Amino acid sequence: MNKRKLKGFVLPTVYVMVIGILFISISFIGSALQSKVKYDDNLSVNALEDDVTPVIKNEEETNTTDKKIVKPFTSTAVSISKSYYDMQDDEKTQQNSLVYYENTYLQNSGVLYSSKEAFDILSVYDGTVTNISEDEILGNVVEITHNPNLKTIYYSLGEILVKKDDVINSGTIIGKSGSNLLDEEQDNCLLFEVYYNGNTIDPEDFYNMNINDLQ
């Protein structure tokens, strides 16, 4: 008996048909399963955004305005009676910065402010009240430490509204203007001094400084 042989193109054709049937079957099964799965409409990127806190905040939220140094008073009636004595000033300016007391001229280590009417005295920056005392010549005294290198001293207060170890903010009213023996013509005075690293600074320059440079 003669054996019949399959022609050369028959086997490849059969293989292609089998593969095609398998592919169609798998696609049909996948579609059927997918149709049975229900998706929650809430599972979306927008829904997740409501519960996610952004790691990087807006620039407006992260940037804060640095606090400024303020003057120790707000009254427009206050003027300078004696300026800070600076060795670099001309002779006339230095003479106007000398304080005369008991036949002696003293170099003014701060600024002496005065007014014809009473005025509030403010803390020029955040700090802690580190000392309260009374001076026979300069009257009541309040010392505020702002950082280990910076402190301010307020002399001639007629009334003190803070106590030692109080933590206060910039602009806090610490007392009322008073008198001293350096300017007996005025009943409302403030002698204000600024110390940085143990040395005095002209208060009129101090108001315009950056507090970050005085750490």
Quote the pTM value. 0.69
pLDDT at 83: 95
As beta bridge partners, residue 131 has: 143
pLDDT at 81: 92
Which regions of the chain are under pLDDT 50? 3, 5-6, 10, 14, 33, 37-65
pLDDT at 45: 38
Scanning 50-114, the segments in alpha helix (DSSP H) are 59-62, 91-95
Extract the tokens encoding 91: 């002779």
Fold of 79-214: Glucose Permease (Domain IIA) (2.70.70)
pLDDT at 59: 43
pLDDT at 20: 59
- In three-state secondary structure terms, 196 is strand
Q: How is 113-149 classified by DSSP, letter by letter?
A: EEESS--EEE-SSSEEEEEEEEETTTEEEEEEEEETT
pLDDT at 185: 75
Q: How far apart are CA 97 and CA 68, in angstroms?
A: 27
pLDDT at 31: 57
Question: What single-letter DSSP state applies at residue 109?
Answer: S
